[in-house]
Amino acid sequence: MTERSVVHATFAIDRIYEAKPARVFKAFSDPDIRDRWFVRPHNWPVAEYSYDFRVGGQEKGRFSPNGTMIVLNETTYWDIVPDARIIFAYAMYIDGKRISVSVATVEFKPAPNGTRLIYTEQGAFLDGYDIPAQREEGCRDLYERLAEELARMPADA
């Protein structure tokens, strides 16, 4: 039997994007834009993907970073305030083992040069399969991809 353990941790990523809140929010709400920076930034083979961005809607992505290991992400959206806030809960699985359950808050605040985005993840990391520092590193990478995406998108009018 697996040794059961839980590590609870909270981390935050707080950064400025040079784009208005409506444009940063759109990079989450528009499936095509989000696909580029969130779903396929590293060109991992995607076996399955669905996205239903509304309160109560679900997202499911099954990927294989190296062609053998299977990573599954299941997300439910709990709170959406256009241009201001998104809250979702999500679980991650590796090869069928549930490795974490988290609640994540994304806040979009107007800033002098664009938007201050604060991503806060409160997670339960399970049975030694993942550690908070690794998750935080993965999220920081995604928010760097978002910066690249915003640089490619048409500028604010």
Cβ-based nearer residue to a second copy, 35 or 74: 74
Query: Taking the complex as a whole, how short is the minimal distance between the CB of residue 99 and a second copy, in angstroms?
Result: 10
Query: Taking the complex as a whole, how short is the minimal distance between the CB of residue 88 and a second copy, in angstroms?
Result: 9
Long-range contact pairs involving 68-77 (C-beta distance under 8 Å, separation at least 24) = 69/94, 69/95, 70/94, 70/95, 70/96, 71/44, 72/96, 77/52, 77/53
Cβ-based nearer residue to a second copy, 4 or 152: 4
Query: Taking the complex as a whole, how short is the minimal distance between the CB of residue 76 and a second copy, in angstroms?
Result: 6
- Reading the block at residue 68, the tokens are 């053998």
Query: Taking the complex as a whole, how short is the minimal distance between the CB of residue 90 and a second copy, in angstroms?
Result: 9
Cβ-based nearer residue to a second copy, 94 or 153: 94
Binding residues vs a second copy (CB under 8 A): 4, 6, 8, 10, 76, 78-79, 81, 84-85, 87, 89, 91, 98, 101-103, 105, 107, 120, 122-124, 126
Cβ-based nearer residue to a second copy, 63 or 108: 108
Q: Report the interhelical angle of 21-29 vs 132-152 (nearest 10°).
A: 110
CA quadruple 123, 105, 41, 49: dihedral sign:
positive
**DSSP state string for 58-88:** EEEEEE-TTSSS-EEEEEEEEEEETTTEEEE
Phi (first) and psi of residue 137, to 5 degrees: -60, -45
Cβ-based nearer residue to a second copy, 36 or 58: 58
Query: Taking the complex as a whole, how short is the minimal distance between the CB of residue 121 and a second copy, in angstroms?
Result: 9
